[in-house]
Amino acid sequence: MLLNIKNMVCDRCILVVKQQLEHMDLQVAEISLGTAVVSPDPSESKLSEIASSLNILGFELIEKDKDKLIERMRNVIIELIHHSESPELHVNFSQALTEQLHKDYSYLSRLFSDSEGITVEKFIIQQKIEKVKELLQYGELNLNEIAWKMGYSSNSHLSNQFKAVTGQSPREFKATEVNKRKPLDKV
């Protein structure tokens, strides 16, 4: 049975969910961001138990098809921005979503906006800014290198977008002792 799980945003989430499902005597055949294939097929009462145990850990079992699709959209975007092996992020997100989800982008965009209260584009920008914050904290790349890596046309474009989202310039963010990054499931 395929379980769709909300708020899985990183490899540690995958590990925690897998351990929890195995602790509940389920065999996990496959697991990735947002999904887990388990056997034997859980009964309704077992599904309720799974939902409760995942909820305690900050995850949510998704049952509605539209909610599943929205979570898959979120996971595709997070995967592309935060877990890509590519040295640079020059991605056409609308094309990537269309190809991976086999749905028309205008439909996906409307569905996402109606459900999440923000546009897909703003969600992508928020995710990119969180990745930029992470890269700034590491201190291994300068702003020009970060702009190139994240697919911005220039460091001024990145700086303007960063300030619009955070209220600080990248330099101000880096200079503050307490850099405020958000967990990806809260973005």
Boundary (domain end) residue, out of 63, 90, 109: 63
76 & 166 share domain? yes
93 & 176 share domain? yes
57 & 84 share domain? no
**CATH code, domain carrying 133:** 1.10.10.60
Boundary (domain end) residue, out of 41, 63, 85: 63
Helices (H) and strands (E) in the chain, counts: 9, 4
76 & 57 share domain? no
Residue 187 clears pLDDT 90, i.e. is over it: no
Q: Which domain holds residue 155?
A: 67-186
176 & 152 share domain? yes
30 & 113 share domain? no
Residue 181 clears pLDDT 80, i.e. is over it: no
Residue 159 clears pLDDT 80, i.e. is over it: yes
With beta carbons less than 8 A apart as the criterion, state whether 88 and 35 touch: no
Confidence of residue 19 (pLDDT cuts 50, 70, 90): very high
Taking residues 35-49, report their average pLDDT. 93
Taking residues 165-182, report their average pLDDT. 82
37 & 76 share domain? no
104 & 174 share domain? yes
Distance of CA 142 to the CA centre of its chain: 25
Residue 1 clears pLDDT 80, i.e. is over it: yes
77 & 119 share domain? yes
75 & 132 share domain? yes
- CA distances to 8, 47, 110, 181 from 11, rounded to whole Å, are 8, 23, 29, 18
Residue 138 clears pLDDT 90, i.e. is over it: no
The predicted pLDDT at position 145 comes to 94
Residue 16 clears pLDDT 70, i.e. is over it: yes
Boundary (domain end) residue, out of 63, 78, 99: 63
92 & 128 share domain? yes
The predicted pLDDT at position 139 comes to 86
Region of 41 please: left (phi>0), alpha (psi -120 to 50) or beta.
beta
Residue 186 clears pLDDT 90, i.e. is over it: no
126 & 53 share domain? no
Average pLDDT of the chain, as a whole number: 91
Residue-wise pLDDT tens digits, 87-134: 677 889 999 999 999 999 999 999 999 999 999 999 999 999 999 999
The predicted pLDDT at position 56 comes to 94
**CATH code, domain carrying 24:** 3.30.70.100
Taking residues 83-89, report their average pLDDT. 75
Share above pLDDT 70 across residues of the chain, in percent, rounded to a whole number: 93
With beta carbons less than 8 A apart as the criterion, state whether 3 and 12 touch: no
Residue 55 clears pLDDT 90, i.e. is over it: yes
Q: How many domains is the chain built from?
A: 2
Residue 77 clears pLDDT 90, i.e. is over it: yes
